[in-house]
A = this chain, B = another copy of it.
Amino acid sequence: MFFFPFLKQSKMSEYIEHDADGISVGLVKKKSYTYAEPPNEMILESGTRLGPVTIAYETYGELNKDKSNAVLICHALSGDSHVAGYYSKDDPKPGWWDIMVGPDKGIDTNKYFVICSNILGSCMGSTGPCTYNPKTVKPYGLDFPVVTIGDMVKAQRALLDHLGIKKILTVIGGSIGGMQVLEWCAQYPEMVVSAIPLASTTKHSALAIAFHEVARQAIMADPNWNDGNYYSGEKPKLGLAVARMIGHITYLSDESMRIKFGRRLQNKNDFSFNFDADFQVESYLRYQGSKFVERFDANSFLYITKTADYYDLERQHGSGSAVEAFSKARAKFLVVSFTSDWLYPTYQSKSMVQAMKKNGLDVSFCEIEAQWGHDAFLLPSKRLTDLIKGFLERVYREI
């Protein structure tokens, strides 16, 4: 077996954040698969060849006999394959979607075999700009090719082939993860039984591109970035921190920031009258920025944001038409947006739903009332959990 069996034990509850029932998938192990088919490389959408390609992944639950219970989770910009559970008993926190994935949870690991892999171009175990270029025996840096959402999905497909899975019961993800979900339905329609794009879009908007571009400029303005060659020296921490701070603002909303921070001051009763962090929102952003640089690679940030900016399902699969882009899809869809998400606003989800419906597809759409902005898809929500659980039960029953 490739997966470490989950431990349904209450001991783990002490490590669990936001976990309603205290049951986690337990201890898990990161695995990896190196895509090494002859000629040992992938041909990317850009035409460039890349290889060998390693894909880090984790699995939870057990694959059933007829291999019909596989759920593929696609992560967003800064996520990884560690979607649920703990690596050890000392692990301070579980995977990034532990509130949704586990025994009896929204994505029930008692029923489904869950797979999550780190996206191509990232820095969490899969091949990306910080991994070794076999030709130079140095980290790729900017020699890494710009990959597309299509390339990321192609690598995931290779992993599923390796696991012997021919059909995915559900492919699910939010934000850039949602783009991968849509891409799966267009690129490998015969493999996808159902799909759940959350807080996502068929094409990145000018506003979203603008935020990504400014974040990239912040990284590239850092002299330590050094055209991407920083792996043996100082890292571009200040630039990456600014980039992350920009991101964090876009993941929240005016309302959520008003509730979470308002104009509350940081440990003081008055203004500093200097450039210290006076307001709690300033401290929060500085903290988020400084924390991020410890775990994420600046070049991966550049590559993945560019990948998202390039994403245009309609251009790639429909000659500019959303209706045509979904014409080969066979999946049943659950599309979810959030009222306060201004990065991937509801109108973008509605527009994909319309295109799906024009193809006669089975589509459920829900706009969830939420004040937390784009981040809402990652936060505890009974509504979202119930929607996903119910949808999964239906599609599993209807196979």
What residues of chain A have their CB less than 8 Å away from a CB belonging to chain B? 46, 48, 142, 145-146, 203-207, 209-211, 213-214, 216-218, 220-223, 238-239, 241-242, 245-246, 249, 252-254, 257-258, 260-263, 271, 273-275, 277-279, 281-282, 285-286, 289, 302, 306, 309-310, 312, 342, 345
Contacts and interface: CB of A to CB of B under 8 A. Distances in A.
A221 B209 contact: no
A145 B272 CA distance: 11
A214 to B, nearest CB: 5
The prevalent SS among residues of A at the interface is helix
Contacts of A262: 206
Contacts of A206: 254, 257-258, 260-263, 279, 281
Contacts of A257: 205-207, 210
A297 to B, nearest CB: 15
Given A209-B281, A221-B222, A214 B245 contact: yes
A381 to B, nearest CB: 22
A257 B214 CA distance: 15
A279 B207 contact: no
24 contacts: A46-B271, A46-B273, A145-B273, A146-B273, A203-B263, A205-B258, A206-B254, A206-B262, A210-B257, A210-B281, A213-B245, A213-B286, A214-B242, A214-B246, A214-B285, A217-B289, A218-B218, A218-B221, A218-B242, A220-B275, A221-B222, A221-B241, A221-B242, A278-B310
